[in-house]
Amino acid sequence: MVRNNAVLALTLFTAGMASASVPEWVRQYASTTLNASSYDDETSAVILLDDQTETVQPNGEIIEKYRRVVRILRPQGSEYAFFPVHFSKDQKISSFRAYTLTAKGVEFELKEKDAVEHAEQEGVYDDSRFLIHSAAAPDPGNLVAFEYEKRLRPYLLETVWGFQERMPIVLSRYTLTLPAGWEFTDFWINHASQKPTSQAGNVTVWEMKDVPRISHEHAMPSWEAVAGRMALHLSGPGMQGRSFRTWEDFGGWYNTIAADRRGATPAITTTVHEVTASSPDFESKVRSIALWMQHQIRYVSIQIGIGGLQPHAAGDIYRNRYGDCKDKVTLMSTMLKEVGIDSSYVIVNLDDRDAVTPAVASHSYFNHAILAVKLPHDEFAEAPAAFTDKSGQRWLLFDPTAEHLPVGYIEGSMQGSYGLLVKDKGELVRIPLTKPEKNYYNFVGKLKLATDGSLSGDMTMVMAGDAAMHHRALIGNRSAGDLHKSLEHYLNEQFAGATLSDIKVENLDEFDKELRVTMKLKATGYAKNAGPLLLVRPRVLGHLWGSLDSKPRLYPYEFDYTEAHNDDFEIELPPGFAADELPRPVNTDVGFARYTAKSEVTGNILRYKRTLQITDPEVPVNKIEDLRRLFLSIAADEKNSAVFKKVG
């Protein structure tokens, strides 16, 4: 599993393109007419055929054949003229072709030799590759098609039929052919269960017609999390070690392939004793080893064969000083064991909290590994990343690849999702949500307003949890000059004429402490004069409201993580002004979030305080109107001004 699956750039390739005859299975779709005006503006292409055939061999290998026909409707649909096919030493491509049939009847064909090969350049060792075809003339009205055949040697006998995409599909077909004595179990995700269209002997066919496209919505879950799909678990004679139907079985399988990887070498033992020499108790030992892992072991993806699933030996990881997620978990688990602390693997999806479905024991949507440290009952009592399994045992989650997050926290992208705790058998567990008060981003300002409307004073940003992690990564990769420019750019998006000086960053490398950024601010023309009145915006910095369009929402809205954002601004007013009108207090509570704001004047000080607390990062469709009300409330408050009049 890799921590980050980079999106490959698709390179246009037309060399070797020549006029040729397209096959009949493509030609039969030439007469299919589609009216672009019958689709919305975001439908740039229609997939006329999506046909996948899997023929399973008695030894568990699979011959996969695939055909695809696409009608380009709009210029943006040209992206569907690109088609990548993954291969590795366990997935061999035997044929791969692309075809174009233009609206004027011109035909083009591209063969395997015309495809471009791309590699994922994330790791030192990686045998994963893509062959990418770019069909000729992807113009509106034209037909493009692709077909390939490849032989797969899967380590686990599971296949997935994804019958819903970003564009509508007229016909999606999946055909499964099994050897004698084999069986399958089908699981349906984001779609009602469907019976096979036909079933004769050992050949089973499913078809889906007129499948709607997945519309893009701001802050929606990933398209994989909402797309309809079917997972198939296969089993046959002699395949007991490669078939599973439950989370318990999958966890047991993973425990088997990782069992002999956590053996300590003398060098590991020596380092553990050095690292924990000044760590007298359980918590300090865990923190010391975690900090060593974050600073000493680089993240490098290593994906060769079963290496995409099986971790390397702890001794090799220690010696090389690099490894991917499961490798870093393996080494940290080994080091903890040397000081008497037990731990286990947890397999998760790093990028999408909705990708793993509890009802379907599928390994296909896991892409990351983290560590669960076995806790005595009273250790890490307040840690946001602690949870209890069904036996009553407490665990602490930690991601050794998260280089700027302290022990006790887990990244927001995983919070609320499901992970597989690997013990003797697997147990699907819910990764806890961090309470907002543990995951905060605060602005504090003590400022002074001059008679000419200019503003100056001290600003402080204080962060913990995910906010601190992201800013530590951002600040750590920037020079002082770049940081200054970035912060000034942010300020000038809030109001023009802002400049900064004396920027200071505290606790950048001390992950267990708050990250603090202090600075001095100057801004011309902040307050506005309107005759005898002075208009002052109490909210100095920060935009907290999100955007929702007016169309009915189809999918949940996702915040990045739970959070408490707190602002506390004090503005000293120029002499000779008294409050004439202050914005009304705001208190909007929608269950999953609450927003409060209040402006008040004491003497010559205008004080503005507000808090946005997000307690659940996923807002279901039936609460979208509540979210809209929250955003409108925040937007209105942020635009409010306090009005002061001259006195005396």
The values of phi and psi at residue 519, to 5°, are: -165, 160
Same fold, 247-432 and 437-646: no
Interval 336-369: pLDDT, tens: 999 999 999 999 998 888 888 888 888 888 889 9
How far apart CA 382 and CA 478 sit, in angstroms, is: 33
Q: At 77, is the secondary structure helix, strand, or coil?
A: helix
Q: At 378, is the secondary structure helix, strand, or coil?
A: coil
Interval 612-644: pLDDT, tens: 999 999 999 999 999 999 999 999 999 999 999
Instruction: Return the closest-CA partner of residue 397 out of 439, 344, 350.
Output: 344
CATH 3.40.50.300 fits domain 247-432? no
How far apart CA 351 and CA 414 sit, in angstroms, is: 7
CB 576 within 8 A of CB 645: no
Structure tokens at 84: 């990548």
Greatest extent of the chain over all pairs of C-alpha atoms, in Å: 99
3-state secondary structure 196-219: CCEEECCEEEEEEEEECCCCCCCC
CB count within 10 Å of CB 29 equals 17
**What stretch of H or E contains 636?**
helix 624-639
Quote the pLDDT of residue 629: 96
Amino acid at 184: F
CB 10 within 8 A of CB 134: yes
Q: Domain-by-domain residue ranges, the chain? A: 18-242, 247-432, 437-646
Quote the pLDDT of residue 647: 85
CB 408 within 8 A of CB 385: yes
Contacts of 612-615 spanning 24+ positions with Cβ under 8 A: 612/544, 612/563, 612/564, 612/565, 613/436, 613/563, 613/564, 613/565, 614/436, 614/559, 614/561, 614/562, 614/563, 614/564, 615/433, 615/435, 615/436, 615/562
Quote the pLDDT of residue 130: 64
The values of phi and psi at residue 300, to 5°, are: -140, 130
How far apart CA 552 and CA 621 sit, in angstroms, is: 9
* First and final C-alpha spacing in the chain: 72
Whats the size of the chain, residue-wise? 648
Q: Which residues pair with 374 in a beta bridge?
A: 395
Contacts of 238 (CB under 8 A, 6+ apart): none
Quote the pLDDT of residue 546: 87
Pairing of strands 563-572, 440-449: parallel
CATH 2.60.120.260 fits domain 18-242? no
Low-confidence residues of the chain, pLDDT below 50? 1-19, 122-124, 305
Helices (H), 172-324: 223-226, 247-258, 266-275, 282-296, 314-320
Instruction: Return the closest-CA partner of residue 314 out of 281, 265, 347, 243.
Output: 265
How far apart CA 584 and CA 598 sit, in angstroms, is: 7
Q: What angle separates helix 282-296 from helix 325-338, to the nearest 10 degrees? A: 140
Pairing of strands 298-299, 322-323: parallel
User: Is the whole model's pTM more than 0.75, yes or no?
Assistant: yes
Interval 8-36: pLDDT, tens: 333 333 333 444 589 999 999 988 877 76
Residue carrying structure tokens 């909290």: 353
The CATH class given to the 437-646 domain equals: mainly beta
How far apart CA 228 and CA 164 sit, in angstroms, is: 5
Is the alpha carbon torsion for 270, 271, 277, 282 positive or negative? negative
